[in-house]
Chains A and B, each alone.
Chain A
């Protein structure tokens, strides 16, 4: 970090240290939290309290590599790789369904097995879709308001991805991706009527599906009264609320969580924030919120300052890739949104999510390193960025 001062002083070589610091803080907090939330369970189920944190540490290592890579590669060059990236993501999303390659956990086929590790393609697919949208928006610009150009193709491509992720039964990620897509469409200049109508159609279809099976409806709405359903469908949420509530202002203290003693399912993944809030209290939660807020603010600011339209939309999309799941996850664990499997970026245990998030930050850093340049000269911009890379570490 000492070389940082020199690096920033050099013209054109800029690294958004605030963004980087937020991301790293979240990553390290996540490593600690994964350990704290999982050690009892890991000891019981795997005979090694460090089982999860060891893996997460390795993913973090790989993730930092992805971040450096993202920081190093000029984001402009992604424009050439949009379709191959989309295609690879699509293949991967299909591969998860193939027995032998895909791994099923609790009935959900979200993973591809790679030796001892698993890869969750949907995490990377989100970035691919964002790349595609940003690329497409930047190209179409004024034509965005036409239904056939600005709306339909994006909806079809995104819809395919969302649908595939949805039938994995990863509704959380599918819904998040849908939210990202609609937000980007909104910013990209698609007519609001298109958005509203399509949203209406989606809602109508959802309601129809739900009405067919009122039990499911009850299930979804169980989050409204977790105490009533505390013994069955609302169990996880009830435990989460108890954990969060137990934290009070100051928390029970690091390592003092009680909910992690098998009371709260998925304590080290989707509900890690509950454990965090239980141990570190409201102040601890504020820290997490502040870090995410900083990240989002830096990302949105970047989207306004980006040297070109592609960069703007890309920055927006990547910010949403981190910010939206974070917000939704926080809403879920605190019971203001229905419970859905959705991890908290950086903090939840899960290699793909962590690596994708760090990669996103890396790309954001690359975009931001090119902001200061008066004119968009991509070829030149890449060169100083290369020099800037080592200084980041």
Chain B
């Protein structure tokens, strides 16, 4: 038996080997061709096959109040999208999904059978619908796995995508200032509209890796992607002041069954708007439910007749132009002054001779008209325009009205020239009035109104800062000071608004009661009750205008608007850290709503605080007998950064922030009112960039 195979068999084995080797070579060549020659191209093609470009929707920046409190934010919600061209059984799918998404099956089928690769099915689902949809998807998934369906399923091409939804956590607070957005995040009104380009954010595309069932495996999307986020807009508004203004306005409006109301709080030195309240108000979260009137910011879109409040601008003009002195007297004609053959001017109460100061204090129309006459049309026109009337203030806000100021140089009749002196035949916006008033409180310099403080990038860098900008000097310092003194008498006994001054403060103000124009005639039943004022009168820190629209029961500005002014002023001053120096009895006359307002400075122990109080008290001018002295507690800012933790007990939030920010400390605040506790404790060494915790407590 031949032990091994024959020679030819061996050759044939060799041939088999050769054949296999050839096969191997061919395969090797094929792989080389696929992987090395075509490789990059195929990899790219595969990437196209596996990945899908998904738009990363921009995340709109936040709108913050001046202290960083969020007034408008973007939250994440889910929307249902579908790829109709990949759906095989639209009929069944629409039947299943319609009740979940709140459609009629027919409507949904129309959407699902569209000849487009992408469609929104339902935007911004409610949490309930979202949960229902997720339940359905999980269910469908389970069923499909159980049935071992392979490949891409219909249920895989209908899925949720995250979207940003605008949310206004403070609800209607400052609603008309903030404005609102459409579903795609385009600002339609207010700051949202005006600063849309800053807030909008930058949409981009990201590539998502999908598995063959259309599920996202990896996504280029980040949970927090500053690239797509818009800038934050920091307003000058102070949420607390805004709240106070809205609350007090609402109380007043309710009390007098008024049609509405406006209130504006401005810082005279900077022109910053701290509060901008209006009624009826609007909750931007559901803006569609509100009438157009509530949606627009009527404080600057609507012009109205200022009434008697306008007298102060005429008087200021006369004083500044040295036409009159405060003590000059005018004959007020005992209530009726005939100008021409037909026209005459009335006073509400007849007066004989009044000084300029008394004309304002008593609000005499005839007196004001005579002052205006003395100033002369051309000069008055110039001054009023310098005050900012008759043209837009320049505030970055959509829809501002310029008001109406007739050219007084060319006014034909005498009556036209003089009625402007008591605010008839002229219309102004609440904003114009507040700014002009603020100019008097700012030594005569008109500031540009300011609603946006700064724009901050999502990373926290300042993109743009809006510094206070003076427009022009309208009055001399002397005339402004004289006006403050004159206006202070309005809120004193004998004035038209004895109720306007908060306890312990003086107010330089003016009342107004303007007949509303109905058609082309003045109404005898519809009025605007106004009070405008600066507080404290000696060194104003707030310029406040309150207008009540069609009050019923009482119509006079001094009765209707002044108490609202008082409440807003009192509470705002406390929040800002201005206190009457004189000790107040705790149980008496404290503003009812002064919740959270810190107690007077007294009772603070510790060397630093006492020194601070004394330092602030020392330069205060000798008080007028009936005026409580105002002590804005000023902190002595350390010249060098602090190296040890100061004792913060008794400071207000703002003071604590100023002090610690100057030292480069980051601060977490708890509570409100005055500082009662701190971490680290006083005397601890601190380093810039460190953090600390300060607890506040309301002690009133």
Give A residues with C-beta under 8 Å from B.
40, 44-45, 141, 183, 186-189, 241-249, 258-259, 261-263, 265, 277, 281-282, 285-286, 289, 292-293, 296-297, 300, 303-309, 312-313, 316, 320, 323-324, 327, 330-331, 334-336, 375-376
Contact A262 B9 (CB under 8 A): no
Q: Tell me how far the C-beta of A32 lies from the nearest C-beta in chain B, rounded to whole angstroms.
A: 20
Q: Pick from B8, B39, B43, B46: contact of A189, CB below 8 A.
A: B8
Does B469 have its Cβ within 8 Å of any Cβ on chain A? no
Contact B36 A189 (CB under 8 A): no
Does B258 have its Cβ within 8 Å of any Cβ on chain A? no
Contact B35 A245 (CB under 8 A): yes
Complex alpha-carbon distance, A20 and B210, angstroms:
41
Task: Determine the chain A residues whose CB is within 8 A of the CB of B46 once the complex forms.
Answer: 242-243, 245-246, 258-259
Q: Tell me how far the C-beta of B665 lies from the nearest C-beta in chain A, rounded to whole angstroms.
A: 48
Q: Tell me how far the C-beta of B34 lies from the nearest C-beta in chain A, rounded to whole angstroms.
A: 5
Contact B41 A309 (CB under 8 A): no
Q: Pick from B12, B50, B148, B217: contact of A186, CB below 8 A.
A: B12
Task: Determine the chain B residues whose CB is within 8 A of the CB of A316 once the complex forms.
Answer: 13, 16
A261 with B217, Cβ < 8 A, contacts A248-B35, A308-B4, A313-B5 known: yes
Q: Tell me how far the C-beta of B405 lies from the nearest C-beta in chain A, rounded to whole angstroms.
A: 71
Does B115 have its Cβ within 8 Å of any Cβ on chain A? no
Q: Tell me how far the C-beta of A284 lies from the nearest C-beta in chain B, rounded to whole angstroms.
A: 9
Q: Which residue of B lies closest to A45 (CB)?
A: B145
The digit string for B87-101, where 1 denotes a CB below 8 A from any CB of A, is 000000000000000
Contact B50 A248 (CB under 8 A): no
Contact A246 B145 (CB under 8 A): no
Number of A-B contacts (CB under 8 A): 146
11 A-B pairs with CB atoms under 8 Å apart are A187-B9, A247-B39, A261-B217, A277-B35, A282-B32, A304-B5, A306-B5, A307-B4, A327-B23, A334-B27, A336-B30
Does B213 have its Cβ within 8 Å of any Cβ on chain A? yes
Task: Determine the chain B residues whose CB is within 8 A of the CB of A258 once the complex forms.
Answer: 46, 50, 209
Q: Which residue of B lies closest to A303 (CB)?
A: B13
Task: Determine the chain B residues whose CB is within 8 A of the CB of A243 once the complex forms.
Answer: 46
The digit string for B127-153, where 1 denotes a CB below 8 A from any CB of A, is 000000000000000000100101100
Q: Which residue of B lies closest to A323 (CB)?
A: B20
Task: Determine the chain A residues whose CB is within 8 A of the CB of B40 once the complex forms.
Answer: 248
Q: Pick from B5, B12, B27: contact of A331, CB below 8 A.
A: B27
Q: Pick from B23, B38, B211: contact of A261, CB below 8 A.
A: B211
Q: Which residue of A lies closest to B46 (CB)?
A: A242
Contact A246 B4 (CB under 8 A): no
The digit string for B9-49, where 1 denotes a CB below 8 A from any CB of A, is 11011011100110110111011101110111111011101
Contact A327 B20 (CB under 8 A): yes
Contact B49 A187 (CB under 8 A): no
Complex alpha-carbon distance, A259 and B2, angstroms:
54
A308 with B3, Cβ < 8 A, contacts A45-B145, A245-B45, A285-B35 known: yes
Q: Pick from A141, A186, A244, A313: contact of B34, CB below 8 A.
A: A244
Contact A245 B38 (CB under 8 A): yes
Does B414 have its Cβ within 8 Å of any Cβ on chain A? no
Q: Tell me how far the C-beta of B86 lies from the nearest C-beta in chain A, rounded to whole angstroms.
A: 12
> Which of B30, B34, B50 gathers most chain A CB within 10 Å?
B34
15 more A-B residue pairs beyond the given contacts A189-B8, A307-B3, A324-B20, with a C-beta to C-beta distance below 8 A: A187-B9, A245-B35, A247-B39, A261-B217, A282-B39, A293-B21, A293-B24, A304-B13, A307-B4, A308-B1, A308-B4, A312-B5, A316-B13, A330-B31, A336-B27
Q: Which residue of B lies closest to A285 (CB)?
A: B31
Interface of A is mostly: helix
Task: Determine the chain A residues whose CB is within 8 A of the CB of B45 once the complex forms.
Answer: 242, 245
Contact B28 A263 (CB under 8 A): no
Name B63-96 residues within 8 Å CB distance of A: none
Contact A265 B4 (CB under 8 A): no
Q: Tell me how far the C-beta of A226 lies from the nearest C-beta in chain B, rounded to whole angstroms.
A: 12
Does B395 have its Cβ within 8 Å of any Cβ on chain A? no
Contact B31 A334 (CB under 8 A): yes
Task: Determine the chain B residues whose CB is within 8 A of the CB of A335 once the complex forms.
Answer: 30
Complex alpha-carbon distance, A316 and B13, angstroms:
8
Q: Tell me how far the C-beta of B461 lies from the nearest C-beta in chain A, rounded to whole angstroms.
A: 37
Task: Determine the chain B residues whose CB is within 8 A of the CB of A306 once the complex forms.
Answer: 4-5
Does B339 have its Cβ within 8 Å of any Cβ on chain A? no
Q: Which residue of B lies closest to A330 (CB)?
A: B27
Q: Which 3 A-B pairs have the closest CB atoms?
A: A245-B42, A262-B212, A261-B211
Interface of B is mostly: helix
Contact B20 A249 (CB under 8 A): no
Q: Pick from B8, B12, B35, B217: contact of A247, CB below 8 A.
A: B35
Complex alpha-carbon distance, A308 and B6, angstroms:
11
Complex alpha-carbon distance, A335 and B39, angstroms:
15
Complex alpha-carbon distance, A289 and B27, angstroms:
9
Task: Determine the chain B residues whose CB is within 8 A of the CB of A247 once the complex forms.
Answer: 35, 39, 43
Complex alpha-carbon distance, A334 and B39, angstroms:
13
Task: Determine the chain A residues whose CB is within 8 A of the CB of B38 once the complex forms.
Answer: 245
Complex alpha-carbon distance, A309 and B3, angstroms:
6
Contact B31 A277 (CB under 8 A): yes
Task: Determine the chain B residues whose CB is within 8 A of the CB of A297 once the complex forms.
Answer: 17
Task: Determine the chain B residues whose CB is within 8 A of the CB of A248 once the complex forms.
Answer: 35-36, 39-40, 43
Q: Which residue of A lies closest to B48 (CB)?
A: A242
Q: Which residue of B lies closest to A188 (CB)?
A: B9
Task: Determine the chain A residues whose CB is within 8 A of the CB of B31 once the complex forms.
Answer: 244, 277, 282, 285, 289, 330, 334
Contact A187 B27 (CB under 8 A): no
Q: Tell me how far the C-beta of B474 lies from the nearest C-beta in chain A, rounded to whole angstroms.
A: 71
Contact B9 A334 (CB under 8 A): no
Contact A263 B212 (CB under 8 A): yes
Contact A375 B3 (CB under 8 A): yes
Contact A187 B35 (CB under 8 A): no
> Which of A258, A289, A336 gathers most chain B CB within 10 Å?
A258
Task: Determine the chain B residues whose CB is within 8 A of the CB of A303 once the complex forms.
Answer: 5, 13
Q: Tell me how far the C-beta of A154 lies from the nearest C-beta in chain B, rounded to whole angstroms.
A: 15
Contact B3 A376 (CB under 8 A): yes
Q: Tell me how far the C-beta of B682 lies from the nearest C-beta in chain A, rounded to whole angstroms.
A: 57
Task: Determine the chain A residues whose CB is within 8 A of the CB of B28 once the complex forms.
Answer: 286, 289
A263 with B16, Cβ < 8 A, contacts A277-B31, A289-B27 known: no
Complex alpha-carbon distance, A149 and B378, angstroms:
133
Q: Pick from A44, A189, A245: contact of B145, CB below 8 A.
A: A44
Task: Determine the chain B residues whose CB is within 8 A of the CB of A265 once the complex forms.
Answer: 150
Task: Determine the chain B residues whose CB is within 8 A of the CB of A263 once the complex forms.
Answer: 49-50, 211-212
Task: Determine the chain B residues whose CB is within 8 A of the CB of A376 once the complex forms.
Answer: 3
A261 with B212, Cβ < 8 A, contacts A188-B9, A244-B34 known: yes
Task: Determine the chain B residues whose CB is within 8 A of the CB of A281 once the complex forms.
Answer: 35
A245 with B24, Cβ < 8 A, contacts A259-B46, A263-B212, A308-B3 known: no
Q: Tell me how far the C-beta of A93 lies from the nearest C-beta in chain B, rounded to whole angstroms.
A: 26
Q: Tell me how far the C-beta of B44 lies from the nearest C-beta in chain A, rounded to whole angstroms.
A: 9
Q: Tell me how far the C-beta of A16 lies from the nearest C-beta in chain B, rounded to whole angstroms.
A: 17
Q: Tell me how far the C-beta of B59 lies from the nearest C-beta in chain A, rounded to whole angstroms.
A: 29
Contact B5 A309 (CB under 8 A): yes
The digit string for B204-236, where 1 denotes a CB below 8 A from any CB of A, is 000001111100010000000000000000000
